[in-house]
Amino acid sequence: MVDEEGESGLAGLGRTLRYLRDKAGKSLGQLAEETAYDKSYLSRLESGKRLSKLAVMEDLDRYYGSGDLLVQLWKVARHDAFKDKYKEFMRLESTARVMHVWTLGVPGLLQTEEFAREVLSGGQATVERDEVIEEQVAARLGRQSLLRRHPVPNVRFIIDEYAFRRRSATEETWDEQLLRIEAVAMWPNVALQVLPFATRVHHLMEGSLTLLWDRDGTAVAYAEGNGGGELIDDPEEVLPHRLSYDRLRDTALSPLDSLAFIRGLLEEHRA
């Protein structure tokens, strides 16, 4: 059951799924019938061509009586849905004790499934493209467990007002997304601030920034822009990003005023 050298997490998960099914003496058809999952879908999971939602692995762990084996392998496999340069950031993010996030749009950590699907699809609709999008949606939703893991991290979001003015395609999706942001903003480990349009031009307005602190106080920055993402761990280079974030925090609405702003949008949306 140990991953072969050079094997991707997705391939390792698929190999384990095949092993468990063979061990149980089940055909793909029997598995599909007994779990209510489509046979071709299960086949793609076993061949390492598709990343499922976390709930599917939870279901299959219960079906096979494999504890949380598949869930743990899924957590490794979901990294394959992201670019290589992002993987080290994800590893650091998974253990960070403090997270400070700035973004122009709704952060992936706060997106609902339907909103994430809409953002990632970009209006494209092909069978092959849809499968890729579903993998990306599953990976994005899987990251959200970071906000509730133990020990619980201290998280601050600064979100540009732009994110709240660019609605989704459907009223229901946008309503659910605003409710999701409102709910997370009230969690005791989360501070959420809206950066209003009234704020002057700043040099972070063309990308996103995440600052992470580990338990020993070590800080790293991950900055994304049109040219891609960059992981920064040199203390001298991290410091300017920390100062930039602090300036945004000081000009953003307070957490209480930001919550009132979001609730006002909900009232407008439902009027």
- Label residue 164 by pLDDT band (50, 70, 90): very high
Please report whether residue 59 resides in a domain. Answer: yes
Give yes or no: residues 151 and 27 share one domain: no
CA dihedral 59, 65, 71, 76 (to 10 degrees): -140
- Report the CATH number at residue 36: 1.10.260.40
User: Residue 180: inside a domain, yes or no?
Assistant: yes
Amino acid occupying residue 118: E
Which residue in 180, 195, 175 sits closest to 253, CA to CA?
195
Q: Is residue 135 part of a domain?
A: no
Whether 91 and 61 share a structural domain: no
14 & 75 share domain: yes
Q: What's the angle, vertex CA 260, arms to CA 255 and CA 265, rounded to 5?
A: 125
Listed range (123-137, 197-211, 225-239) with the worst mean pLDDT: 123-137
- Give the pLDDT of residue 4: 47
pLDDT of residue 37 exceeding 80: yes
Residue 271 has pLDDT above 90, yes or no: no
Within 8 A by CB and 6+ apart from 6, the residues are none
250 and 183 within one domain: yes
Indicate whether 182 and 247 sit together in one domain.
yes
104 is in which domain, residue-wise?
84-110+146-270
**Does an H or E element contain 258, and which?**
helix 255-270
Do 105 and 26 fall into the same domain? no
- Do 50 and 98 reside in the same domain of the chain? no
Q: What is the pTM of this model?
A: 0.74
**DSSP code for 153:** P
- Shared domain for 179 and 236, answered yes or no, is yes
**What are the backbone angles phi and psi of residue 191, rounded to the nearest 5°?**
-120, 130
97 and 218 both lie in a single domain:
yes
What is the model's pLDDT at position 134? 87
Q: What is the pLDDT of residue 124?
A: 61
What CATH number is given to the structural domain containing 92? Answer: 3.30.870.10
73 and 188 fall within a common domain: no
Model pLDDT for residues 51-102, shown as the tens digit of each residue: 888 899 999 999 999 999 999 999 888 766 555 567 778 889 999 999 999 9
Q: Classify residue 134: in a domain, yes or no.
A: no
Find the range with the poorest average confidence among 129-133, 159-163, 178-182, 243-247.
129-133
pLDDT > 70 fraction of the chain, expressed in percent and rounded: 92
What secondary structure letter does DSSP report for 200? Answer: P
Domain count, the chain: 2
Quick one: 101 and 74 in the same domain?
Answer: no
123 domain-assigned: no
Tokens 């410091």 belong to which residue? 239
> Is 133 inside a domain boundary?
no
- Is the pLDDT assigned to residue 3 strictly greater than 50? no
Whether 67 maps to a domain, the answer reads yes
Together in a domain, 95 and 209? yes
